[in-house]
Chain A
C-alpha cells in the first residue's frame, strides 16, 4: 500500500518535473545570464587565469562585490574549450 502511495507521489513529481513551471519560465534566461556573468568575470579577473589585461588593476576593486558569482567560477572555466553541447542541452533542443 505504501509502495502504491509512493508510486502516485512519484507520478505527480513526474508531471511536476515535466511542467516545472517556475523553472521553465526562466530556464533559458537564467542560462544566458549565467553565461554572460561568467564572461564578465573572465574579463575582470583574467589575470587569475594568467591573462593580464590593462584594466586588471581596476577590476580588482570589484572583487568584494563579485564574490558570490566567482564561487566555482574557476571550476567552470576549467572545461570551456567546447561549449556548444552544453548550450544545446541548456536550450533543450530536440526536434
Chain B
C-alpha cells in the first residue's frame, strides 16, 4: 500500500467529518452567527480584537502545532500503523475536534474568559484547582520528555546539535540587532533565514558528539538560563525564527512525500499486546496530542476566543485546526510506516522518535533534490528548535502556576509565609522545575511519555467534563462531550494502573503516576457532583 493513500485517507475523512459531524455540532450546540462575539462587544484594542477567520485559523493552528503530534504516533507505531491511523482519525473527529471546538465555544459564550474560569463556574473552585495541578504536572512532564527527546536526537544526529547551538547564538544576535538596536525586521529576517541555512550547513561539517547524559545536562542548563532571561534576548527571536524552520520543513516534507510516494513496509497490525504494553489503553495515551490534547483548550480560550469575529468561525477554527493537526500526525506515522520494523527499531534506538521523523522527512526531501544529510539535519534542527522553545516557555509558565497556587494559601503562619516567599522566588521555582524535570528526564522519554500522555488526556477530560456540565446546565444536548470524556477516564485510569505496576522500581515515575491516579479519582468524584447540579434555565450563556 502506498503511503500517499494514508494522507489521502485522513484528508478525505476529515473533510467529510468537518462538513457532517462539525455541522451537526453547530446545530446541536446552537452556534449562532447573528450573536455578537466578545471580540466585538468587549473590544479593547489589546486582547479583544476581532480577526478575520482564515488569519485566526492560521494563528490558532500555529499555536497548537507542536512536536507532540509527531512523537506520539511514531512511538505508538509498535502496534502497527493501522491502529495508529485509525485513532488519529477517529480521535480527531470525535474526541479532539469536539474538545477543541467545545472549549472554544464555551469560552466565547463566557465572554472570552479562559477555560479555567469556565471550569470554575461549572465545577467550582476544586475543579479549577485540579486544572491548575494537572497543567503544572503536564508541564514538568513535557520538560522532562522533550529534554530527553532532543538529547536523544542530538546523539543520533550530532550535526543538529551543532546547528542548534549555532541557532541559539543566531537568535541572540537577532534579538540584539532587531529589538535592541532597531535593525529593520525585514532585513533581520532575511539575515536570520540565511543564518539558519548557514547553521544547518556548518552543522553538517562539524558534528558535535556527546553522550546523551551530557546533552541532557546541557539542555537543562539551557532551560534554566533561558527561562530567566528577558524575552527579547532569546525566547522572542527563537519563537519567531522557529516558524520559518517549521513551515519550510512541513512544505518540504509534504512535497517530498508526494514526489517519492514510498510504499508502506511496516506491518499494518502487530498485536494487542506488545511487550508489557496493551493496545488498550497504551495506544491512546501514547498518541495523545495527535488525537486529543488538553492544551488546546488553554490556547483556544486564552487568545483565540477573544479574537473570534463571528460564531460561525467556531467550527472552522476549533474543529478545523484540530483536523489539520491530525494531518500532521498522519504525516508523522507515515515516516514510521514506510520503514521496515527492523529499520524502525534501529532508528528509534539510535535517536528516538525524533530521529525516525527526521530520517523520514529527510528521505522525502531528498527526493526533490536536497541532499539527505542536509535535509535530515534541517528537520532535526527544526523540531529540536521548537522543542527547546517549548522548554523555555514551559518553565516560565510553571513558575506562574506555582506562584498563584501557593499565594492562595499564604494566609497561614509566618513559617508558611516564608516558605511561600521562597517557593515563588524566580530562581527557586525555576530550579525546582528544572531539577524535578531533570530527574524525570534521565529515565528516558519512553517511560515518561505515557505519563505525559495520561496527564494530557486528563486535562482534556476535565475540559470535556466542564463542557458537558455547561451544555447540560444550559439545556443543550451534551452526550457528544460525555462519551469522549468517559472514554478518556477509562483510558487514563487503566493506563495509570498499568504504569504504576510497571514502574514499581522507578520511584520518580511511580510518584507521578500515583499522584495522577489519585487526582483522576478525585476528578471523577467531582464530576459526579457537578452533574447533580440542576439545569439552569436562565440566560443560555
Contact = CB atoms under 8 A, between A and B. Distances in A.
Q: Is A–B contact present in the complex under a CB 8 A cutoff?
A: yes
B113 A79 contact: yes
Contacts of B137: none
Interface string A61-90: 000000000011001100100111111111
B146 A17 contact: no
A9 to B, nearest CB: 8
B58 A85 contact: no
A87 B302 CA distance: 8
A47 interface: no
Interface stretch (B17-25, B395-403, B416-424): B395-403
B301 A93 contact: no
A90 B54 CA distance: 19
Contact of A91 (B47, B51, B396): B396
A16 B302 contact: no
Interface stretch (B6-14, B262-270, B292-300, B334-342): B292-300
Interface string B112-144: 011111000000000010001001000000100
B46 A15 contact: no
Contacts of A13: 52, 54-55, 58
Contact of A19 (B52, B231, B243): B243
A18 interface: yes
A90 B114 CA distance: 12
B240 A18 contact: no
A72 B45 contact: yes
Interface in A1-51: 10-29, 32, 34
B243 A93 contact: no
B58 A87 contact: no
A26 B296 CA distance: 22
Given A83-B404, A92-B239, A93-B394, A21 B185 contact: yes
A95 interface: yes
Nearest to A34: B46
B56 interface: yes
Contacts of B243: 18-19, 21, 24
Contacts of B115: 85
B179 A72 contact: no
B525 to A, nearest CB: 23
A91 B96 CA distance: 22
A66 B456 CA distance: 42
B393 A93 contact: yes
Nearest to B115: A85
B43 to A, nearest CB: 9
A93 B299 contact: yes
Interface in B432-446: none
A29 to B, nearest CB: 5
A11 B46 CA distance: 26
A32 B230 CA distance: 9
A27 B263 CA distance: 42
A95 B289 contact: yes
A88 B51 CA distance: 20
Contact of B67 (A25, A34, A88, A95): A95
B247 interface: yes
A86 to B, nearest CB: 6
A94 B61 contact: no
B231 A92 contact: no
Contact of A93 (B47, B56, B240, B295): B295
B58 A14 contact: yes
A28 B401 contact: no
Interface in B385-430: 387, 390, 393-394, 396-397, 400-401, 404
Nearest to A92: B63
A10 B56 CA distance: 11
Contacts of A84: 116, 132, 135, 397, 400-401, 404
Nearest to B302: A89
B372 interface: no
A53 B142 CA distance: 42
A87 to B, nearest CB: 5
Nearest to B114: A85
A33 to B, nearest CB: 9
B179 A29 contact: yes
Contacts of A92: 62-63, 239, 299, 393
A29 B116 contact: no
A25 to B, nearest CB: 5
A83 to B, nearest CB: 7
B432 to A, nearest CB: 16
A87 B146 CA distance: 21
A17 to B, nearest CB: 2
Contacts of A18: 58-59, 61-62, 243, 247
B57 A17 contact: yes
Given A84-B397, A86-B302, A95 B62 contact: no
A32 B231 contact: yes
B185 A15 contact: no
Interface in B92-117: 113-117
Interface of A: 10-29, 32, 34, 71-72, 75-76, 79, 82-95
10 contacts: A12-B54, A19-B58, A21-B185, A26-B236, A83-B404, A84-B401, A84-B404, A91-B393, A94-B295, A95-B68
Pairs A-B, 7 closest by C-beta atoms: A89-B302, A17-B58, A18-B58, A17-B55, A13-B54, A85-B114, A10-B54
Given A27-B239, A88-B299, A89-B63, 20 more contacts: A10-B54, A13-B55, A17-B58, A21-B189, A21-B240, A23-B59, A24-B240, A26-B236, A76-B44, A82-B116, A82-B117, A84-B116, A84-B132, A84-B400, A84-B404, A89-B302, A91-B397, A93-B397, A94-B63, A95-B289
